[in-house]
Every structure is written in C-alpha cells, then in structure tokens.
C-alpha cells in the first residue's frame, strides 16, 4: 500500500493559532508578575496570591499539550491507504433521440433539437455508474452507441446528431424501441431503462404495443416531450416550412396525450423537457431499489486514506487524566 504522511483535514490546524496566542500572552503575564518581587517580600507575596495562582505546578503546559494533540488528531494524520473493491449498480439506460425535421422547430429556445441535446447531456451527467447507449430514429432507427460506461464518448456523439443526418424522414417510435431493447438484451442487470426524447409519433398504436411488450420483459419506457402544445411552423428539412396544397404553413405541435399513453404502456414516466429533473430522480430511485444486487467491477479498485489520528487518543486521554489530577495543576 502506498505510504506518505499527510493530513485529511488540515484546516483543523487553524485551531492552534488561538492556543499559541494564549500561551504567549500567559508567558508574558507571568514574566510581569515577577516584577512584584522587587517591591514585596517573596514570602509575603506567596501569601497574597490567590490559591492556585502562585507556586506549584502550572497547568498550562499540560493544557497546551492536550490541546495540540487533540487538534492534530482532528486534522486526520494519515500514512497508509486501504484498497477495496468497487461495485457497480446493475443499471443500463438507452437514450433514443428523434431526428425528424420537426425537431428543428423553434417553439422552445433555441430549437427542439438543441434542447434535446441539453437534456441528453443532463441524463449522461446523472448516469453515474450506469451503462448508457444511444439510438437515433426518424423513419427508421439506428444505433449510435452500444451500451458502454464511456459516458464522454456518448456525450460527444450526441452533440453532432441533427435531422439532416437521417436518410428517411418520419417519427416511427416502434423501431427505435426495438433497437434499444436489443441493446439492453446484452445487459443482464435488473434496472433497464429506455428514455425517448421526441415531439410526436406517426405509429402510436404499434409504439404503444411495443412499449407494453418491453415492460413485460422488464424494460421501462420513459418519454421526454420536447416542444409545446401551441407548436411552431414545421420545418421541411430544406430550410423552409411544410405547407398544405393551398400554401398555408403546417404547424408542428407536441403530442402530450399520445406520448403519455406510450409511457404508461411502457411502465415509465412522461415529462416535458422542462421537467427532466423529475425523471432523473425517478431513474435514480429505480437504481437504488436494486442496490442489493450491485455487481462487483472486476478491474476497478478504490483506494482511501485511513485516518490514523485515532492512535493519538491514548496520549490525549493520559494528558487529560494528568491535567485533572489534584496537585498537578
């Protein structure tokens, strides 16, 4: 085990400053008391002093020692480490991001797709030791990142996703759920979650049946709605807006009722992007419920410094007993 003396709580040493200031003041005061011997007989001066203020042993050396060792013990001197195995919660999250042209709508600032990327970043930051994967979907679904504990790589991949990367427009959720389920099938843990970020769906019936089937298989489907019910002009993917034959611009609106039913069928939660912290709290609660099934991480070890200040306790107790003994102070 690596060794090297250092302090776990060095700020406690600041408590020595008032001690040293008090000791210096008492020493100077004792020196001034000696000036009375030039004017008063030593035997008479001893009788004039209050009991305990004159001859005999001074308690201050013991007090100084007791205080010093107590402060050093509180500062946590340490010179050895303890190595323990690490454990990982059996949790796996797959994030599914809709990349339809409608995700470029601006009814949320700056755009739906930008807000979805921010939400993914928050989810990845909250994943802690859960494995994460990433799926993108529109007319079809594609695996962007398989299940991994390399959260930074997944974060970097999510930042470059945009609707213009997809070869086919659409908002078919069922293929995305099936793709995410195949990723989760490689993970044998008990806590398996799918988090979908989307504004709407073009296959609600099939998506609902797929979500229900996954829930029965032990996979929860959670939906994060990105957008507003009021909506915004629907981008067409070519820099313009979708229009009906008479030229009127089509509005794209969030479908909260449909998305809520899909999440309910999947045994998960539906939240809007502004309510994402509520979903994160729920995912953490699901992970804590499986804490008893935590799995050992085979290649990870945790090294922590031991607090060796406890070895000063016998000396502190001895000094305390001497300071309280009659005739010693």
Q: Is residue 213 part of a domain?
A: yes
Q: Are residues 157 and 275 in the same domain?
A: yes
Q: Are residues 53 and 151 in the same domain?
A: no
In the prediction, which pLDDT does 78 show? 78
Strand order in the sheet with 3-7: 3-7, 77-88, 295-305
In the prediction, which pLDDT does 89 show? 60
Tokens linked to 319:
């000094």
| pLDDT-derived band at 236, boundaries 50, 70, 90 | confident
In the prediction, which pLDDT does 25 show? 76
pLDDT at 54 over 50: no
What is the dihedral angle through the alpha carbons of 224, 230, 233, 237, rounded to the nearest 10 degrees? 10
Cα-trace Rg, the chain: 35
* pLDDT (tens digit per residue) in 158-192: 999 999 999 998 999 999 999 999 999 988 777 89
Q: Are residues 317 and 199 in the same domain?
A: no
More confident residue, 102 or 328: 102
More confident residue, 97 or 77: 97
The mean per-residue pLDDT over the stretch 232-239 comes to: 85
The CA distance from 121 to 95, in Å, is 11
Range of the domain at 148: 90-293
In the prediction, which pLDDT does 111 show? 95
Q: Which helix (H) or strand (E) holds 51?
A: none
Q: Is residue 58 part of a domain?
A: yes
Tokens linked to 88:
């990982």
Strand order in the sheet with 141-148: 141-148, 131-137, 91-98, 191-198, 219-225, 267-272
More confident residue, 210 or 316: 210
Q: Write the DSSP string, 100-116.
A: -GGGG--SSSS-HHHHH
SS3 category, 197:
strand
Q: Is residue 161 part of a domain?
A: yes
Q: Are residues 73 and 120 in the same domain?
A: no
Q: Are residues 78 and 154 in the same domain?
A: no
Q: Are residues 101 and 208 in the same domain?
A: yes
User: Which of 91, 218, 219, 92 is CA-nearest to residue 147?
Assistant: 92
**Least confidently predicted of 240-249, 254-263, 265-274:** 240-249
Q: Is residue 202 part of a domain?
A: yes
pLDDT at 57 over 60: no
Q: Is residue 198 part of a domain?
A: yes
SS3 category, 267:
strand
pLDDT at 290 over 80: no
Q: pLDDT averaged over the chain? A: 82
Q: Are residues 166 and 277 in the same domain?
A: yes
Q: Are residues 117 and 250 in the same domain?
A: yes
pLDDT at 324 over 90: no
pLDDT at 61 over 90: no
pLDDT at 326 over 70: no
Domains identified in the chain, total number: 2
Tokens linked to 152:
């930074």
Q: Is residue 166 part of a domain?
A: yes
Classify burial at 251, counting beta carbons within 10 Å of its beta carbon; exposed 0-12, middle 13-18, buried 19 or more: middle
CATH number, domain of 152, equals 3.40.50.410
Q: Are residues 164 and 206 in the same domain?
A: yes
| End-to-end CA separation in angstroms for the chain | 44
Q: Is residue 329 part of a domain?
A: no
Q: Are residues 197 and 289 in the same domain?
A: yes
pLDDT at 97 over 60: yes
In the prediction, which pLDDT does 53 show? 47
Q: Are residues 205 and 94 in the same domain?
A: yes
* Alpha helix segments (H runs only) across the chain: 16-33, 42-48, 60-74, 112-126, 151-158, 173-184, 204-216, 256-265, 276-289, 313-323
pLDDT at 109 over 60: yes
Select, from the ranges 18-22, 60-64, 197-201, 240-244, the one with the highest average predicted confidence (pLDDT).
Answer: 197-201
DSSP type of residue 305: E
Q: Is residue 210 part of a domain?
A: yes
Q: Are residues 246 and 143 in the same domain?
A: yes
pLDDT > 70: percent of the chain: 77
The mean per-residue pLDDT over the stretch 33-40 comes to: 55
């Amino acid at each position: 085990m690596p060794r090297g003396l250092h302090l776990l709580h060095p700020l406690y040493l600041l408590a020595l400053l008032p001690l040293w200031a008090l000791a210096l003041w008492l020493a100077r005061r004792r020196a001034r008391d000696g000036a009375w011997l030039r004017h008063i007989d030593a035997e008479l001066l001893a009788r004039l002093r209050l009991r305990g203020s004159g001859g005999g042993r001074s308690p201050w050396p013991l007090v100084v020692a007791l205080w010093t060792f107590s402060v050093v013990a509180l500062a946590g001197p340490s010179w050895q480490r303890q190595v323990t195995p690490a454990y990982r919660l059996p949790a796996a999250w797959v994030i599914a991001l809709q990349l339809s042209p409608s995700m470029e709508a601006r009814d949320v600032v700056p755009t739906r797709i930008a807000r979805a990327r921010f939400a993914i970043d928050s989810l990845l930051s909250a994943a802690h030791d859960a494995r994460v994967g990433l799926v993108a979907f529109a007319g079809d679904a594609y695996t962007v990142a398989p299940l991994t504990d390399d959260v930074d790589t997944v974060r970097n991949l999510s930042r470059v996703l945009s609707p213009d990367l997809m070869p086919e427009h659409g908002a078919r959720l069922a293929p995305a759920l099936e793709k995410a389920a195949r990723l989760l099938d490689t993970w044998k843990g008990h806590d398996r979650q799918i988090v979908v970020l989307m504004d709407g769906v073009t296959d609600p019936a099939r998506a609902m049946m797929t979500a229900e089937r996954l829930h029965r298989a032990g996979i929860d489907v959670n939906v994060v709605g990105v957008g507003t019910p009021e909506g915004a002009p629907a981008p067409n993917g070519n820099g313009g807006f979708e229009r009906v034959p008479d030229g009127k611009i089509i509005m794209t609106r969030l479908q909260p009722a449909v998305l809520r039913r899909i999440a309910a069928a999947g045994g998960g939660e539906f939240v809007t992007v502004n309510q994402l912290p509520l979903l994160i709290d729920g995912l953490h609660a699901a992970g804590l419920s499986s804490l008893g099934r935590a799995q050992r991480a085979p290649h990870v070890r945790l090294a922590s410094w031991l607090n060796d200040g406890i070895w000063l306790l016998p000396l502190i107790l001895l000094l305390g007993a001497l300071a309280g003994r009659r005739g010693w102070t």
